[in-house]
Amino acid sequence: MTAIEKTIDSTLESACQSKTLVCDGNEAAAWGVALSRPDVIAVYPITPQSSLVEYVSQFVAEGIIDAELMNVEGEHSVLSALQGAALAGARTYTATCGPGLAFMFEPYIRTPGLRLPIVASLVTRDTLTPQCVWGGHQDAMLVKEAGWIQMYCETVQEVLDTTVMAYRIGEHPDVMLPVNVNSDGNYLSYGVTGISLPAAPLVDAFLGEKNVNWHAALDPERPMAIDPLTGGAGGPGPKMFVNYRKGQTDAMQNALRVIEETHKDWGDRIGRHYSPLVEEYRLADADYAIVTIGSMTGAAKDAVDEARDRGEAVGLIKVKTFRPFPVAAINRALNKVKAIGVVDRSVNFGWNCGPLYQETIAAAQKLQRFMPSASFIGGLAGADITVEHFSEVIEDTAKLLKGHSYDEPVWINRND
Amino acid sequence: MGIGYNTITFNQDKCDGCGDCMLACAQAKAGSDDIVHSRIQILTTDQPSGDPQASDSGAIELAMCRQCGDPKCVSNCPAAALTKNATTGTIDWHADKCVNCLLCTVGCAFGGITYNAEIGHVTKCDSCDGNPACVKVCPKGALEYNTSGSIYNRISDKDDLFVPGLSACQGCNSELLIRHTLRNVGTNVVVATPPGCIPGMGTVGYNGKTGTKVPVFHPLLTNTASMLAGIKKQYNRVGRDVTMLALAGDGGVGDVGFQSLSGAAERNEQQLFMCVDNEGYMNTGMQSSGSTPAGSWTSTTPVGKEMQGKRTDAKNMAKIMMMHNCEYVATASLAFMDDYYEKLDKAIAASKHGFAYLHVYAPCPTGWRFPAADTIEVCRKQVESNFVTLWDFTPEQGLRFTRSTDNPIKMAEYLKQIGKYRHLSEAQVEHLQRRVNDQVRSLKAFEQLTEVS
C-alpha cells in the first residue's frame, strides 16, 4: 500500500468511524459510494439527483473518495465512459433519473449485454410530459426490461446499505450485471433522517477483492475483440446470440440467490437486516394485503397498524427487488392472503393499471387460484401518499373480499 | 512487400514550360547556364496531331530518368557501367567502366539517358542525392520529390495487425488506412471502431472471431470518444500508458457521434480520434451524412425532377475540431502518404497529452461510383483541386498548410472522375467551386493567427 493510499484510507476511515449522521438519501448514497471505493465515477447533474453527484464530487475533492471523477457532457457519455472504464477493470458509479435516464438509454440497454457490473443510482422521477421535476417511478419502470437489476429502497439508511450491497451483487461471478439502486426522488433524496455509517474496514471485508473484468477486457496484455458482430440466419450468429441472451436471463435468476446471500451477509457483518426480495409485514394472520414498493411503505405500514387496531385483518407485502422479479418470494407472501391491493407510483399505459400490479398478478397466476385484486396509482409527480390515502386503499381492498371488483385502477391524489 | 524508393514526379497539368528546372539542373550538374547540360528536359509538342479530339496538341512532356525498377539501360549495357543502387533506387552511371557504346540510350523509352556531345559521354539524373535542384526551383509545383515509396520499406518490417482477407470493397481506401495506421501505432493500444465500414469489413470480427490483433471493440455509433475516455482514465489510474485510438466514419464523428466527440475534446481526453471521411453512410447503402458535399448523389439525396443531390454543404469537421483548441488537429489523404505518416506520428504523440484529431479523406469507389483502381487517383485530385486541403494545427503553432493550395487543378478535373457528381449542373459546379474557394480563404485567415479559439 502506498503512502497516498494510506492517507486516503485514514480519511475514509476517520470519516466513517462509528458515526451517526443526520443526512438525506442523496448524501447517504454518496457515503455508500465512498465506502465501495469505486475507481471511476462519471457524473451529470439532474433534479432530484443533483445533490447526490455534488456530494460525490465533494468527497473526491476532499480525498474521501479516491476515484477518477469525469464531469462529462451528458448522461449518454456518463454511462459510455463507465462502460469503457469497466472494460479496463474499473469499479464504477453514476446516478441519474427521468430525462437523464432517457438520454442514457442507448448505452443503458447495452450494459447488461456487455455484462458490466456498473452501479447506478436512480433517484426516481416522473417522466415528461407534463413538465415535472418531482418524484415517481415512471422512469425506472420504463427501463424494467433492459436487463439491469433494480432494487427499490424504503429508507435513507437502506439507500446507503443497498448501494454497497449493489457492488457485491453485480460483481458476483454468477451475476455480472449492472445494478440500479432506486431511491424515491424527493422523499428519499431530500428526506433527512439519522443514519449510521458502517466502519470502512467492515465494508472492505464485506466487498472483498475487486475483480470487475475477469471475463472480458480491453487490455493490450490479453488482446481480444469485445462484442464482434453476431449475425445472420444460416450461420452460427443466431445461435451465439441466443446463448448470450440466455446467459443474461440465467444471470438474472442467479441474482435472486445472490441478492439474498448478500443481504444476509450484510446483516451478519453490519447488524442491519433487510428483506432482500419481498418483505412481509403483519401478514401471517392477514386475510388480505396491500402491496407496496419504495418509500411509500413507511406510511403504508402505519396505515396497516391503524387498521389492525380497528380489527382489520390486513397485512403488507413490500417488493424491494423488482428486477429480477422475485416470483417465488412474492407467491409465498400472496399465498397467505385472499385479496390484494397493489399501489404503484407509475402507470402501465398498455394495461390501464400500475406496472407492479401487473407483475404481481402475473406471479399470482402461478398460484393457480383466483386472486381478487385492485390497482392503485398514486404518488405521481411527487404527490404524497399519506396514511389517510393508505387507509382508503385498505378499505377499497377489503371490498374485494365481499365480491367487489374493479375494472379500472383507483387513482390516488386525484382530488388532493 | 516490394522495395519502394523516393522519386521525382511530374504533373503535366501544372507545368507551363518555363524551363527553370533545366537551368537549375545545368547549374547544379555542370556549373553552366546552358540547358544542354540539363538532365531534365521539358519538351513541348509543337506539332498538333491534327485530331481535334486529341488532348496532346501542344502538350508538355518530360524527358528524364525514371530510375526504373527493371531498367533497360542497365540490361543493355555490355560493360556493367550502369547499375541499380539497391539503397537509393537510382541508376548509377560509372565513368570508369563506360565504353561509350550508347546502347543504353537505345534501351530507354523516357529519354532518361542521353549523349552529351559537349562532354563526350552520356549523362542521367542522379536525384541530386535526395535533394533535387529541379524540384526546388519549380514555381508551379509541377515537380515534386515523392518520398512515400520509401515509407513502405520502413513500415514493411512492422507487424500488420489487421488480418489478411477482409470483406472490404475492392479498392477500399479505409483498409489501406487501417493497415498503415495500426502498423505505426503498434500493439499497446485499444482500438474503437463504431458501426460503419471499418467494423463492417471485419475489424472487430464476426461470430466470435476477431479481425484485429490488438484489443478492439464496437462502441455505439454515438459514444466512441466517451468510451475511450473511460478506458484511458482507468489505465492512467493503474499507471499504464496505453494509446486510445478511434477509427470512426464521418457519421459517427460529425453527426450522431458529435456530442461525445466535442465533450471529449473539451475535456482534452488523451486519445487519437480519427475520422475516416467517405462523405456519407457507405456501409449501410450510401446515405447522406453531414459530411456529404452539396450536389452529391446519395441514396437519400437522389437525383430527380425536384431534387438534384444534396441541397446543403458539408460541414468542415476538421475546422470545427480546430475550434476546440485540441492538442493536435490535422487533415490527411492517402495519396500523400509521407504527409500522413508525419501527421500520424504527431497525433500519436499528442494523444499522450490530450485530444488529437485526424481527419482522413477517404474516397469510396462503391459509394461514389468510380472504378476501384482509381481510388488513390481520386484521393490525389481531391487534394490537388483544393476540394480538401492538407493542414495541421497545434495551439502553439496555429494552422499550417502542409501542402500548398496555390495553383489548384480545375474542380471539374476532380468531379468528372466521380459518378455521384455526374448529374451536376454548371450552377452546382460553380457552387462547389465557390464553397472550396471560401474554405481555402477561411483556412488561410486562420493560418495568420496563432490563437484560434
pLDDT along chain B (453 residues), means of 10: 78 89 95 94 70 59 92 94 92 95 93 93 94 94 84 81 88 93 96 95 90 96 98 97 98 97 98 98 96 97 96 97 97 94 97 98 97 97 98 95 94 96 97 97 89 55
Instruction: Measure CB to CB from residue B223 to each of A80, A226, A229 and give the nearest one.
Output: A80
pLDDT at B450: 64
Instruction: Determine the Cα–Cα distance for residues A374 and A389; give it in Å rounded to an integer.
Output: 15
Query: What SS3 state is found at B412?
Result: helix
Fold topology of B7-149: Alpha-Beta Plaits (3.30.70)
Yes or no, beta carbons of B216 and A73 under 8 Å apart: no
Cα dihedral: A314, A315, A318, A324 (round 10):
-100
Best interface-test mutation with A: which of B161, B220, B223 has the largest number of A CBs within 10 A?
A: B223
Instruction: Tell me whether the CATH fold assigned to A3-207 matches the one assigned to A278-411.
Output: yes
Q: Which residues pair with B69 in a beta bridge?
A: none
Q: Any idea which residue has 379500472 for its cell?
A: A408
Q: What is the predicted pLDDT for the residue at B53? A: 52
Burial annotation B105-130 (CB, 10 A radius, 16+ → b, else e): bebbeeebbbeeeeeeebbbbbbbee
Who contacts B439 (Cβ-Cβ below 8 Å, separation ≥6)? Answer: B316, B319, B386, B389
**Min CA distance, B436 vs chain A (Å)?**
33
Determine the topology of domain B160-447 in CATH: Rossmann fold (3.40.50)
Q: What is the pLDDT of residue A1?
A: 36
- Element holding A246 (H helix, E strand): helix A237-270
| Residue among B126, B110, B125 nearest B72 (CA) | B110
Residue A205 to residue A387: CA distance in whole angstroms: 40
A71, A225, A240: residue with CB nearest B204? A225
Give the chain B residue nearest A224 (alpha carbons). Answer: B215
Give me the half-sphere count of Cα atoms (radius 13 Å) on the Cβ side of residue B8: 28
Positions of chain A with pLDDT under 50? 1-8
Neighbouring residues of A160: CB distance < 8 A, sequence distance ≥ 6 = A28, A29, A31, A32, A35, A195, A197
β-bridge partners, B275: B248, B359
Q: A234: phi > 0 → left, psi -120 to 50 → alpha, else beta; which?
A: left
Instruction: Find residue B63's DSSP bridge partners.
Output: B41
Rounded distance between C-alpha atoms, residue B267 and residue A43, angstroms = 14
**Pick from B205, B235, B259: CB nearest A228:** B205
Superfamily for the A3-207 domain: Thiamin diphosphate (ThDP)-binding fold, Pyr/PP domains (3.40.50.970)
SS3 content of chain B, % helix, strand, coil (to 5): 35, 15, 50
Predicted pLDDT at B7: 87
Place of cell 385502477: A409
The contact set of A with B (CB < 8 A) is: 39-40, 42, 68, 70-74, 76-77, 80-90, 92, 106-107, 110, 217-220, 223-231, 235-237, 240
| CA–centroid distance for B147 within its chain | 12
Residue A127 and residue A142 in contact, taking contact as beta carbons nearer than 8 Å: yes
| Cβ separation B215–A226 shorter than 8 A | yes
- CA B25, CA A111: separation in Å to the nearest integer? 66
> HSE of A401 in the Cβ direction (CA atoms, 13 Å)?
16
Chain B residues near residue A244 by CB distance under 8 angstroms = none
User: B residues 379-418 near A, CB within 8 Å?
Assistant: none
What gap in Å lies between CA B230 and CA B247, rounded to an integer? 17
A154 neighbors A318 (Cβ within 8 angstroms): yes
Using CA atoms, how far residue B70 sits from A253, B8, B74, B76, B108, in Å, is 71, 17, 8, 11, 11
Alpha carbon B219 to its chain centroid, in Å, reads 28
Q: Which residues contact A66 (CB under 8 A, 6 or more apart)?
A: A4, A5, A8, A37, A60
| Alpha helices, H only, A88-199 | 98-114, 138-142, 156-171
Q: Do A82 and B267 lie within an 8 Å CB cutoff?
A: no
Helices (H), B238-374: 250, 258-266, 317-322, 337-351, 365-368
CB contact under 8 A, B219 and A80: yes
**Contact with chain A for residue B174, Cβ under 8 A:** no
Grid cell at residue A265: 451477509
- Which residues in chain B have their CB less than 8 angstroms from residue A224's CB? 210, 215
| Surface of B (207-266) touching A: CB under 8 A | 207-220, 222-223, 225-238, 242, 259-260, 262-264, 266
Instruction: Check residue A4 and give its pLDDT.
Output: 41
Q: Please choose, from the candidates B203, B214, B150, B146, the residue with its C-alpha nearest in 3D space to the C-alpha of residue B174.
A: B203
Strands A179-184 and A119-124: parallel
Which residue does chain B place closest to A241, by CA atoms?
B207
Fold designation for A278-411: Rossmann fold (3.40.50)
Of A68, A86, A220, the CB nearest to B189: A220
Question: Terminal CA-to-CA distance of chain A, rounded, Å?
Answer: 58
Query: Which residue is closest to A229 within chain B, CA to CA?
Result: B206
CB contact under 8 A, B207 and A85: no
Q: To which residue does cell 452546382 refer?
A: B428
Place of cell 441541397: B311
What CA–CA distance (Å, rounded) separates B393 from B8? 28
Return the SS3 of A319. strand
Contact A329, A124 (CB under 8 A): no
Q: What is the pLDDT of residue A3?
A: 39
Chain B residues near residue A110 by CB distance under 8 angstroms: 220
* Domain residue extents for chain B: 7-149, 160-447
From the list B273, B90, B102, the residue with the least C-alpha distance to B194 is: B273
Find where cell 543504353 sits: B104
Tell me the C-alpha distance between B354 and A117, whole Å.
29
Alpha-carbon distance of B196 to B217, in angstroms, equals 13
Q: What is the pLDDT of residue B452?
A: 55
Q: Which residue has the cell 486541403?
A: B389
* Closest chain B residue by Cα to residue A72: B263
Sign of CA dihedral B291, B295, B296, B298: positive
Q: Given an 8 Å threshold on Cβ–Cβ distance, is A225 in contact with B211?
A: yes
**A227/A313 Cα distance (integer angstroms):** 54
Cα separation of A124 and A135, whole Å? 6
Closest CA to B42 of B20, B57, B26: B20
- Name every residue whose Cβ is closer than 8 Å to that of residue B56 and which is 6 or more positions away in sequence: B45, B49
- B340, exposed or middle or buried, with CB in 10 Å at 0-12, 13-18, 19+? buried
Contact predicate A177/A251, CB 8 Å: yes
Helix ranges restricted to H, A121-225 = 138-142, 156-171, 200-207
Which one of A39, A40, A79, A80 would you mutate to disrupt binding with B, by most B Cβ within 10 Å of its Cβ? Answer: A80
Of B219, B242, B263, the CB nearest to A72: B263
Determine the Cα angle at A216 with ends B252 and B284, to 5°: 25
Q: What pLDDT, on a 0 to 100 scale, did the predictor assign at position B2?
A: 58
Alpha helices in B255-395 (DSSP H): 258-266, 317-322, 337-351, 365-368, 375-384
Output the pLDDT for position B47: 56
A225 and B213 in contact by Cβ < 8 A?
no
Cβ neighbours for A118, distance < 8 A, ≥ 6 positions apart:
A79, A82, A83, A86, A92, A93, A94, A111, A170, A178, A179
Q: How many CB atoms lie within 10 A of CB A80?
A: 30
CA–CA dist B224, B270 (Å, integer): 13
Nearest CA to A21 out of A273, A193, A200, A272 is that of A193
For chain A, the 3-state helix, strand and coil shares in percent, each to the nearest 5, are 45, 20, 35
Listed by number, the residues of chain B in 259-288 with a beta carbon closer than 8 Å to a beta carbon of chain A are 259-260, 262-264, 266-267
Where are the domains positioned within chain A?
Answer: 3-207, 278-411
DSSP structural state of residue B369: T
Are residues B259 and A236, on separate chains, in Cβ contact within 8 Å? Answer: no
Interface test with A, best of B234, B243, B262 (most A CBs within 10 A): B234
Return phi, psi of residue B105, to 5°.
-65, -25
Going from the C-alpha of A250 to that of each of A113, A147, A150, A362, B449, the distances in angstroms are: 12, 11, 16, 20, 61
- Residue A109 sits at φ, ψ, to 5 deg, of -70, -15
Contact B74, B82 (CB under 8 A): yes
